[in-house]
Amino acid sequence: MFDGFWDNVFRYPRYFISTLLGVFLSTFAPLAPLLKRPVTLIAIISLLISGFIFVTFTLRAMLGLSAV
C-alpha cells in the first residue's frame, strides 16, 4: 500500500520548483526584448518601484501602521 510513498513525497518539491520556474519564465520571457533598450528598462524599473511603493503605502494606511 505504501510502496514508493516517500519517493512521491520527495518529488513534490522538485515539481513545485519546476512549475514555479516555468511560470516565471513564461511571464517574463516576452519582456526580455524590452530590457535591451535603456529607455524601456528605466521605465519598467520605475514602474515596478512605484508599484511597490504604492502597495506599501496602501497597506500601511489600511493597517494603521503610520499616520498618513
C-alpha cell at 16: 513545485
CA 45 to mean position of chain CA atoms? 14
Q: Quote the CA–CA distance of 41 and 48 in Å, as a whole number.
A: 11
Q: Quote the CA–CA distance of 65 and 57 in Å, as a whole number.
A: 10
Tens-level pLDDT at each residue, the chain (68 residues): 678 888 888 899 999 999 999 999 999 898 888 888 999 989 989 999 999 999 999 999 899 886 55
Q: Quote the CA–CA distance of 12 and 29 in Å, as a whole number.
A: 25
Q: Which 3 state secondary structure label does DSSP give 49?
A: helix
C-alpha cell at 39: 529607455
